[in-house]
Amino acid sequence: MKGKRINWKPVELDQALFSNGIPEGLVAIEECTDYDLNVFQSQPLETKKRKNVEQRYANKKKPKLLKSFKSACENDLDLIPSKCGSTFIESSAEDEEVKNMEAWHKFGLQESLIKALADQNFLYPTHIQALTLPSAILGKKDILGAAETGSGKTLAFGLPILSGILKRKELLDHKSSDEFNPLNALILTPTRELAIQVKNHLTAAAKYTDIKIAVVVGGMSAEKQERLLSKNPEIVVATPGRLWELIQLGNSHLSSIDKIRFLAIDETDRMLERGHFQELHDILEKINLMQNEQKNRQNFVFSATLTLEHELPKHLLLKRGRKINKSSSEYKLKKIIELIGMTNPKVVDITDRTGKTVQTLTECRISCSIDEKDYYIYYFLKKYPGRTLIFCNSIGCVKRLNSLLSVLQINVLPLHASMQQRQRLKNLDRFRDDPQSILIATDVAARGLDIPSVDHVLHYQMPRTSESYVHRSGRTARASKDGITVLLIDPSELQSYLRLCRTLGKGEDMPLFPVQQNILAAVKQRVNLAREVEKLELQNRKKSSEKGWLQKAADDMDIILDDDLVKEEEDNFLDSANSLKYVQKKRKQLADLLNKPVFTIGFSGKYPTLMNASNLLLIEENDKAINVAKNAAESKTGRLKAKWLFKKGNYKSDEKGRKKTDNKNIQKRKKKTLRDKQSSKNKIYKFKHVNK
């Protein structure tokens, strides 16, 4: 050790770490993070140090502990596996260490759990698992964990819970069974789909144990859920609303909920947002009523955006020294700790402060008007087949886009909160099963859903919060796979877009996604015709539902209608017959158009694109969207800033709050643009925007 520079300092150790005895030859333990929550407010925020183990690993050096004490520890005494370097570790099944699942044994996990992990080919813990499992399983600490989307957070809390229950069962086997509270753990999630997914994930990990897990969510038969609870499952995975309902109805299994030993709240930042999930607060109040029980409980709090800090407005930044910064991660964590009633918590934050999204994610944008969004969506879906998730901000928007794309003969699956639960799950399953499927969803699908190999995430509208952007985008590029996310932004969304870039450390802007401008005319023709067909069909549906209501009402009341009214009814009928013919004609026109290929088959070439009208960009015929975006981002020529695209004066709001171009401005610019058209191709694009 002599001569080596080691900046280690003594820390107090939790005796529970050595509940299984002190490992032979142990000479050092490394603490992973040092959020000093106790001294919150006592120091200026800027001076607080953060040791980030991730960064040390990212330097591709061995962890300090291994380097300094290699000879004494010989790797296997390290609680953090030696191969823990990135989120997921590529491993060879030939490796002895892998075969023996040694990385998992170090956490003191039971054989039954390790066997199930081996079955799933989970040969190593992911980074967040490696950093939390020692403190959670051996140290029995409460954990606040923040790690990127798709990094394996579910097992980071799932394994300590399963392991803890197995230990308790073993211990209580020797004692009187009366002491055993059958309900051991509660896991809460914000959505029903996520609860079902977490339940399935844990059931797979617990397959060689006798632990029973039940799911309790709204939208499904309450009787069936009561039946499941009557089997006394040790773990209940639930959404807060239905769970609270069953507690209040006096369900006997849930009556001992205040004695649970484990509580996990997935997507905690969302669950504790003000104005949401009131039932969660009721549940917390109930389970925190008895202090003794609260102290005996181990708590887990996880989210990819747990420590996301929002950019503060300038006037608040000035006051920062004097005022509590409510968006600081320290403040947020302190609030969560208080609310949940955590004792002696450990914070493991391995999110990157300079970029909150996954490294394998390619992020870009398309700047356009509201009206043009449909064109670009259609263009993208036709050009880049693959499993695609489109996010909208409202149910109405999902319905409208679903209907338009269906008219355009694109098979899409909607997902939103006002659908029947059975249909929601069915659509999700179809999306999972078909690698070419397209799901249009609200934020109900933004968090937690683990659908393997989503190729593209498109944001039809700017997400309402930066958190929502991170989670929506995190449905792709999971488990170290590549993925692309494209934001469609219109001028009214520019300010929130720029704010998002700053919050996520994206600099001023994201790169533009290149779109072949020469194809857009054909795309517009189809989409416009489809819009017309859709509108006419809607009118017809309305008319036919109204048709005959008067006569029916008269019949019901046993009265005879006036001749005038009868004639009006007949005219309406003729009208609708004519419009039906008209719709059929339009449908036929659209079908003919859709039968022709929109992209020239067998041709790759250089095209003027939205980002780059004068310098042509090569787009290969079968290139993936992610490659096209990466190539475009690398070719720096002609990158247009979002601010430039939406120059002030080009757009004006109409009464619906939509952005509309100023007519006078258009005429003036039209003339000027026509003059400039030949000399500068770059301005063609500008003109097109102004001319909407």
Per DSSP, the residues of 279-292 read HHHHHHHHHTSSHH
Q: From the CA atom positions of the chain, what is the Rg in Å? A: 29
Binding segment for ligand ATP (CB under 6 A), chosen from 151-159, 341-349, 391-399, 618-626, is 151-159
Instruction: Tell me the closest approach of the beta carbon of residue 128 to ligand ATP, in angstroms.
Output: 7
Distance CA 197, CA 6 (A): 44
Instruction: Tell me the closest approach of the beta carbon of residue 161 to ligand ATP, in angstroms.
Output: 13
Instruction: Tell me the closest approach of the beta carbon of residue 372 to ligand ATP, in angstroms.
Output: 31
Binding residues for ligand ATP, rule CB under 6 A, total 19
Burial of 132 (0-12, 13-18, 19+ CB in 10 A): buried
Distance CA 54, CA 2 (A): 27
**Which lies closer to ligand ATP via its Cβ, residue 125 or residue 608?**
125
How many Cα atoms within 13 Å fall on the side-chain side of residue 120?
17
Instruction: Tell me the closest approach of the beta carbon of residue 149 to ligand ATP, in angstroms.
Output: 4
Applying the rule CB under 6 A, the residues between 79 and 118 that interact with ligand ATP are: 88
Interacting residue with ligand ATP among 35, 69, 107, 122 (CB under 6 A): 122
Q: Judged by CB under 6 A, does residue 153 bind ligand ATP?
A: yes
**Which lies closer to ligand ATP via its Cβ, residue 145 or residue 514?**
145
**Which lies closer to ligand ATP via its Cβ, residue 304 or residue 489?**
304
**Which lies closer to ligand ATP via its Cβ, residue 137 or residue 533?**
137
**Which lies closer to ligand ATP via its Cβ, residue 146 or residue 407?**
146
H/E stretch holding 583 reads helix 563-595
Applying the rule CB under 6 A, the residues between 429 and 488 that interact with ligand ATP are: 448, 450, 474, 478-479
**Which lies closer to ligand ATP via its Cβ, residue 153 or residue 689?**
153
**Which lies closer to ligand ATP via its Cβ, residue 472 or residue 669?**
472
Instruction: Tell me the closest approach of the beta carbon of residue 349 to ligand ATP, in angstroms.
Output: 13
Distance CA 186, CA 258 (A): 10
Instruction: Tell me the closest approach of the beta carbon of residue 455 to ligand ATP, in angstroms.
Output: 16
Q: What is residue 16's DSSP assignment?
A: G
Interacting residue with ligand ATP among 150, 164, 483, 491 (CB under 6 A): 150
Residues contacting residue 279 through CB under 8 Å, at least 6 positions apart: 240, 241, 243, 244
Instruction: Tell me the closest approach of the beta carbon of residue 130 to ligand ATP, in angstroms.
Output: 9
**Which lies closer to ligand ATP via its Cβ, residue 246 or residue 441?**
441
Structure tokens at 426: 């069915």
Q: Judged by CB under 6 A, does residue 163 bind ligand ATP?
A: no
**Which lies closer to ligand ATP via its Cβ, residue 114 or residue 155?**
155
Distance CA 515, CA 241 (A): 44
Instruction: Tell me the closest approach of the beta carbon of residue 196 to ligand ATP, in angstroms.
Output: 13
Interacting residue with ligand ATP among 66, 77, 155, 415 (CB under 6 A): 155
Q: Judged by CB under 6 A, does residue 126 bind ligand ATP?
A: yes
SS3 of 619, please? strand
Residues contacting residue 522 through CB under 8 Å, at least 6 positions apart: 598
Instruction: Tell me the closest approach of the beta carbon of residue 465 to ligand ATP, in angstroms.
Output: 15
Selection from 536, 535, 530 nearest residue 583 by Cα: 536
**Which lies closer to ligand ATP via its Cβ, residue 479 or residue 520?**
479
Applying the rule CB under 6 A, the residues between 276 and 295 that interact with ligand ATP are: none
Structure tokens at 519: 């194809």
Instruction: Region of 312 please: left (phi>0), alpha (psi -120 to 50) or beta.
Output: beta
Instruction: Tell me the closest approach of the beta carbon of residue 359 to ligand ATP, in angstroms.
Output: 14
Binding segment for ligand ATP (CB under 6 A), chosen from 150-158, 426-434, 573-581, 629-637, is 150-158
SS3 of 591, please? helix
The total of other beta-carbon atoms located within 10 Å of residue 607's CB is: 17
Per DSSP, the residues of 534-578 read HHHHHHHHHHHHHTTHHHHHHHHHT-PPPHHHHHHHHHHHHHHHH
Distance CA 473, CA 149 (A): 9
Instruction: Tell me the closest approach of the beta carbon of residue 152 to ligand ATP, in angstroms.
Output: 3
**Which lies closer to ligand ATP via its Cβ, residue 261 or residue 447?**
447
Structure tokens at 658: 């939509």
Instruction: Tell me the closest approach of the beta carbon of residue 143 to ligand ATP, in angstroms.
Output: 14
Interacting residue with ligand ATP among 149, 225, 465, 503 (CB under 6 A): 149
Binding segment for ligand ATP (CB under 6 A), chosen from 5-13, 122-130, 269-277, 369-377, is 122-130
Structure tokens at 419: 């659908």
Applying the rule CB under 6 A, the residues between 494 and 533 that interact with ligand ATP are: none
**Which lies closer to ligand ATP via its Cβ, residue 30 or residue 450?**
450
The CA-based dihedral angle spanning residues 251, 256, 261, 262, taken in that order and rounded to the nearest 10 degrees: 20
Q: Judged by CB under 6 A, does residue 325 bind ligand ATP?
A: no
Q: Judged by CB under 6 A, does residue 196 bind ligand ATP?
A: no
Q: Judged by CB under 6 A, does residue 206 bind ligand ATP?
A: no
Residues contacting residue 684 through CB under 8 Å, at least 6 positions apart: 613, 673, 677
Site string for ligand ATP, 294-323 (x = CB under 6 A): ----------x-------------------
Per DSSP, the residues of 475-538 read TSS-TT--EEEEEEE-GGGHHHHHHHHHHTT-TT--PBPP-BHHHHHHHHHHHHHHHHHHHHHH
**Which lies closer to ligand ATP via its Cβ, residue 66 or residue 128?**
128
Q: Judged by CB under 6 A, does residue 619 bind ligand ATP?
A: no
SS3 of 394, please? coil
Cβ atoms of residues 609 and 517 within 8 Å: yes
SS3 of 300, please? strand
Interacting residue with ligand ATP among 152, 240, 463, 514 (CB under 6 A): 152
Q: Judged by CB under 6 A, does residue 137 bind ligand ATP?
A: no
Instruction: Tell me the closest approach of the beta carbon of residue 186 to ligand ATP, in angstroms.
Output: 18
> Which residue's entry shows tokens 């993070």?
33
Q: Judged by CB under 6 A, does residue 268 bind ligand ATP?
A: no
Q: Judged by CB under 6 A, does residue 391 bind ligand ATP?
A: no
Phi and psi, residue 672, nearest 5°: -65, -45
**Which lies closer to ligand ATP via its Cβ, residue 242 or residue 478?**
478
Residues contacting residue 423 through CB under 8 Å, at least 6 positions apart: none
Distance CA 378, CA 363 (A): 19
Distance CA 163, CA 157 (A): 10
The total of other beta-carbon atoms located within 10 Å of residue 599's CB is: 15
Residues that bind ligand ATP (CB under 6 A): 88, 122, 124-126, 129, 149-155, 304, 448, 450, 474, 478-479
